[in-house]
Amino acid sequence: MSARPFNLLVMLLLVVVTAIAVVYSKHSGRELFIELQALAYERDAMDVEWGQLQLEQSTLTTQGQVERDARDKLGMVNLAADNMVIVKP
């Protein structure tokens, strides 16, 4: 008869340990979900920034913009036909 209270105590202990494990698992899952949501938000923000940078790059590298910057910032000019020298190998 003394085995029965011991078995009940062991079963109660196992139930308590299992309940704590379930709570810990649920808590860890929620923390990971929160982290996932934050990373998804950061990814979306970076996607928007990437699109803006690509748009900016495409406007800065148009032929007219390059020619204008070459003239204004570097002092380059278009060559006249009489100033050109063609080198043949």
Please tell me the pTM assigned to this model: 0.57
Domain of residue 57: give its range.
3-72
pLDDT surpassing 60 at residue 1: no
- Whether 30 is in a domain gets the answer yes
pLDDT at 81: 82
How far is C-alpha 75 from the geometric centre of its chain's CA atoms?
Answer: 41
Tens digits of residue pLDDT in 5-35: 899 999 999 999 999 999 999 999 999 999 9
Q: How many structural domains compose the chain?
A: 1
- Whether 52 is in a domain gets the answer yes
Angle (nearest 5°) at CA 77 between 75 and 78: 165
pLDDT at 69: 85
